[in-house]
Amino acid sequence: MSPEQTVALYESLPGLIRRMQFDQHTLVLLVRRPDAPELTDEEAAELQDRHLAFRADLRDRGYLIGGGPLVDQDDERLRGISIMMCDPETARRVSNEDPAVRAGRLAVEVMTWMVPAGNVRFENVPAPRSMAEAAED
Sketch the domain layout of the chain as residue ranges.
Answer: 22-120+128-135
130 Cβ neighbours under 8 A, 6+ residues apart: 49, 52, 53
Q: Which of the four CATH numbers 3.30.420.10, 2.40.50.140, 3.30.70.1060, 3.20.20.150 does domain 22-120+128-135 have?
A: 3.30.70.1060
* Global pTM exceeds 0.75: yes
Task: Please indicate whether residue 15 or residue 20 has the higher confidence score (pLDDT).
Answer: 20
Looking at residue 18, its pLDDT comes to 55
Looking at residue 6, its pLDDT comes to 52
pLDDT band at 84; cut points 50, 70, 90 = very high
* pLDDT tens by residue, 20-77: 788 889 999 999 999 999 999 999 999 999 999 999 999 999 999 999 999 999 999 9
Under a CB-based contact definition with an 8 Å cutoff, are residues 109 and 28 in contact?
Answer: yes
Distance (Å, whole) CA 76 – CA 32? 8
Distance (Å, whole) CA 108 – CA 26? 12
* pLDDT tens by residue, 109-120: 999 998 888 888
